Amino acid sequence: MDSDTIVQILILVLLILGSAYFSASETAFTSMNKIRVKSMANNGNRRANAALKLAEDYDKLIAGILIGNNIVNIAATSLATVIFISHFGEIGPTISTIVMTVLVLIFGEISPKTMAKNSPEKFAIVSAPFMKAVVTVLKPLIALFGLWQNMISKVFKSDDSRGVTEEELLTMVEEAQNDGEIDNEESELIRNAIEFNDIEAIDIHTSRVDVVAVDITEDNEEINRKFRESGFSRLPVYSDTIDNIIGVLNEKDFRRIEDAGISIRKVISEPVFIIPSMKISELMRELQRKKSHLAVIIDEYGGTVGIVTLEDIIEELVGEIWDEHDKVVENFRKVGRNDYIVKCGADLEDMFEYLGMSEDENEDIQTVGGWVTDALGKIPEINDTFKYKNITVTVTKRDSRHVLEIRVHMDAEPESKKDE
């Protein structure tokens, strides 16, 4: 083998390495996590900043990579053909095609792309300075192909939006959690924040039958008892009926006038009235603006549907907030292999999710109690029973107004329900 052939082979090796570099760069810049690279850039990593700027103008970057890759691949194929013709004559082109196809696939495509995909951010940051130089050198060609790309885009218009949807964000959070990049608590907080704008006041309200309220005519002893037994720091105040809420009484204000013989009318604050469909993100801003901690939900006739507190809203983001006065309520309790005790104030969707079941469309029914009443078609009595899909429901507790608790027996436990 003469010296010219050795030089040609060395050049061929360099060209295949160039193909590998461009292929790896394409995969790295396509797969890299821009948020992670931006974080590195914000921490002073200059190469990360260069990689981020290249990625921001992705069309020019990918054009530069593809042009460079094609140049080295064509040059490598041509040089290999010359080498094999000089050694094998007429069958040289055939041998060159076979050998170069295998070499380019293994060393110029598959291997570098696999390695780059395993550490895309690291490779993108390392290759950023050279890729910047390549894009600069190939700028005239990139501009020419850019014009062609614009013309193609005008001919074949796309209706697809490049914005990130809420569903895509939730999928990204799920993938990050599965990869171990964030823990369960962080994932839940991010999910709650994403879905925050979709929640309506009616979804988190306390129903009027469960509202502890003060009649404007009640004496201080009775008001004091309600504050003490409920543990609440604020109570709605009504006149004649709870459908006519006229204010909100703060316990601190009540203590200040309790022994002074002053009417609570002097210290109650103006209530905030809202409609059931109001988004809690908007409600939070409204409560902050009016410096209030409680809003009253009213129906189309002006009657009281229930109340929503600032704490209720915050709990939709961070989960349950317990203080020393709160009673821990266990809505779902397993009492046997296929038996469960369910509180009727629980959310109906939560119950079906807990039991591993799918529910029919019951848009107007939100609580388990409402569902039981609707299924029985009457005011439930203790020991009333009905069947729904593969469960048997029995009323176990009620008061004079509504059902409080049920027992659920699963005739056949779904596979999706995990043993506890």
Would residue 148 count as lying in a domain?
yes
Would residue 115 count as lying in a domain?
yes
Would residue 286 count as lying in a domain?
yes
Would residue 325 count as lying in a domain?
no
Sequence-distant (≥ 6) Cβ neighbours of residue 226 within 8 angstroms: 212, 214, 235
Q: Which two tokens stand for residue 175?
A: 């993938």
What amino acid is encoded at 411 in this protein? D
Q: What is this structure's pTM?
A: 0.54
Tens digits of residue pLDDT in 17-53: 999 999 999 899 888 888 888 888 888 888 888 888 8
Strand (E) or helix (H) holding 249: strand 241-250
Sequence-distant (≥ 6) Cβ neighbours of residue 153 within 8 angstroms: none
Q: How confident is the model at residue 328 (pLDDT cuts 50, 70, 90)?
A: low
Location of structure tokens 């697809």: 160
What amino acid is encoded at 78 in this protein? S
- Helices in 138-237 by DSSP H: which ranges? 139-155, 166-178, 184-195, 201-204, 220-230
Percent of the chain with pLDDT over 70: 92
Instruction: Kindly state whether residues 30 and 112 are assigned to the same domain.
Output: yes
Instruction: Kindly state whether residues 230 and 341 are assigned to the same domain.
Output: no
From first CA to last CA, the distance across the chain in angstroms is 74
Sequence-distant (≥ 6) Cβ neighbours of residue 182 within 8 angstroms: 173, 176, 190
Strand (E) or helix (H) holding 302: none
Tens digits of residue pLDDT in 177-220: 787 777 777 777 888 888 788 889 998 888 888 899 999 999 98
Q: What is the mean pLDDT of residues 78-83?
A: 90
Instruction: Kindly state whether residues 264 and 387 are assigned to the same domain.
Output: no
The CATH code of the domain that includes 281 is 3.10.580.10
Above 60 in pLDDT, residue 391? yes
Closest-CA residue to 232 (of 330, 331, 345, 326):
326
Instruction: Kindly state whether residues 63 and 133 are assigned to the same domain.
Output: yes
337 in Cβ contact with 417 (< 8 Å) = no
Burial class (CB in 10 A: 0-12, 13-18, 19+), 354: middle
The CATH code of the domain that includes 390 is 3.30.465.10
List the single range of 151-165, 248-262, 268-282 with lowest mean pLDDT.
151-165
Instruction: Kindly state whether residues 46 and 132 are assigned to the same domain.
Output: yes
pLDDT in the model for residue 415: 44
* CB neighbours of residue 16 within 10 Å: 20
Would residue 90 count as lying in a domain?
yes
Instruction: State the sign of the Cα–Cα–Cα–Cα dihedral 173, 179, 184, 185.
Output: negative
Instruction: Kindly state whether residues 214 and 79 are assigned to the same domain.
Output: no
Single residue among 265, 284, 318 that ends a domain in this structure:
318
Instruction: Kindly state whether residues 139 and 60 are assigned to the same domain.
Output: yes
Instruction: Kindly state whether residues 97 and 126 are assigned to the same domain.
Output: yes
Instruction: Kindly state whether residues 104 and 179 are assigned to the same domain.
Output: no
Could you list the residue range(s) of the whole structural domain that residue 41 is in? 3-155
Q: What is the mean pLDDT of residues 55-60?
A: 84
Closest-CA residue to 319 (of 189, 145, 166, 136):
189
From CA 83, how far away is CA 45, in angstroms rounded?
44
- Report the number of distinct structural domains present in the chain: 4
From CA 278, how far away is CA 306, in angstroms rounded?
13
